[in-house]
Amino acid sequence: MNGLLKDGERLDDLQRDGMKLIQRPDVFRFGTDSVLLADFAAPRPRDVAVDLGCGTGAIALLMAAHRPGLRVDAVELQPEIADMARRSVAYNRMEDRVRVFEMDMRDAWRTLGAGAYTLAVCNPPYGRKGAALESANAAKRLARHEGDLTPDDLARAAAMLLKNGGRFCAVYPAPRAFELMRALWDNRLAPKRIRTVHGVAGRAPRFVLLDAVKSGGEGLHWLEPLVLRNEDGSFTGEWHRIYDCGEGN
């Protein structure tokens, strides 16, 4: 790969227009939740977007691919993962549309500008600090466990970066949805759309996809539940639509 990949890294298929992503099996890798969020956020023609805690860059690259002309600034705290994201952007020739910044999302507004964006997205760490055994691998621990990054920190970071009327979209564990919605409301981000994500129909949701508007009013719209698999284990038509595979592929 002419020096593209470092020891332990591999090139994974993003399943979109031949795009690839540099990842390492021993740290966080993008999953279905990232793909779902990129689709749910549905960037608009004039959006300027920021991806908070971008990891290896999957969501930023997928959004840019879905919305030609979209510019995305991607924020990642961990140096080695930010480096992978930058190299993925370069590999996919997206340098003019996706920029990667190595920084703490809580301070991002100081560099990127308060009120500079119309769309912010985040697939945050899911594990509550102290609630489960944490990985000894520092990079994996930061990717999976929130540490000192609370839902309130996340909401405040997004609110500082967004213009009034700007949207914040996130994917979050369904059992913790109230924590995030309360934090959003406390930071002038009004939840407006919510979609539950189910492994199969009839079971409790695993995740929720949330869309909040800065300085928005009350009124929460419940969207049709997203079911990923049919009873026979095959993927649903909606899953195929999101992955851009086409029904039956």
pLDDT in tens, 83-104: 999 999 999 999 999 999 999 9
The pLDDT tens digits of the residues spanning 36-50 come to: 999 999 999 999 999
**The predicted structure's pLDDT at residue 143:** 45
HEC states along 113-154?
Answer: CCCCEEEEEECCCCECCCCCCCCCCHHHHHHHECCCCCHHHH
**The predicted structure's pLDDT at residue 247:** 39
Would the pLDDT of 210 be above 80?
Answer: yes
Dist. CA 205–CA 198, nearest whole Å: 4
Fold of 10-242: Rossmann fold (3.40.50)
Q: Which residue has the higher pLDDT, 186 or 28?
A: 186
| The pair of three-digit structure tokens given for residue 137, joined into one six-digit string | 């691998």
Q: Which residue has the higher pLDDT, 131 or 243?
A: 243
**The predicted structure's pLDDT at residue 107:** 97
Would the pLDDT of 248 be above 60?
Answer: no
Q: Could you write out the DSSP letters of every residue in the chain?
A: -TT-SPTT-EEEE-SSTT-EEEE-TTS----HHHHHHHHHH---TT-EEEEET-TTSHHHHHHHHHSTT-EEEEEES-HHHHHHHHHHHHHTT-TTTEEEEES-GGGHHHHH-TT-EEEEEE----BPTTSSPPPSSHHHHHHHB-TT--HHHHHHHHHHHEEEEEEEEEEEEGGGHHHHHHHHHHTTEEEEEEEEEEEETTS--SEEEEEEEET--S--EEPPPEEEE-TTSPBPHHHHHHTT--TT-
Dist. CA 141–CA 54, nearest whole Å: 15
pTM of the predicted structure, to 2 decimals? 0.89
**The predicted structure's pLDDT at residue 181:** 97
Would the pLDDT of 135 be above 70?
Answer: no
Burial class (CB in 10 A: 0-12, 13-18, 19+), 104: middle
Would the pLDDT of 166 be above 70?
Answer: yes
The average pLDDT across 176-189 equals 97
Would the pLDDT of 245 be above 60?
Answer: no
User: For the chain, what's the residue count?
Assistant: 249
Mean pLDDT, rounded, of the chain: 89
Confidence band (pLDDT; 50, 70, 90) for 141? very low
Confidence band (pLDDT; 50, 70, 90) for 27? confident
| The pair of three-digit structure tokens given for residue 149, joined into one six-digit string | 């990054």
56 contacts 81 by C-beta, under 8 angstroms: yes
Ranges of each domain in the chain: 10-242
- In the block, which residue shows the tokens 């489960």? 132
**The predicted structure's pLDDT at residue 215:** 96
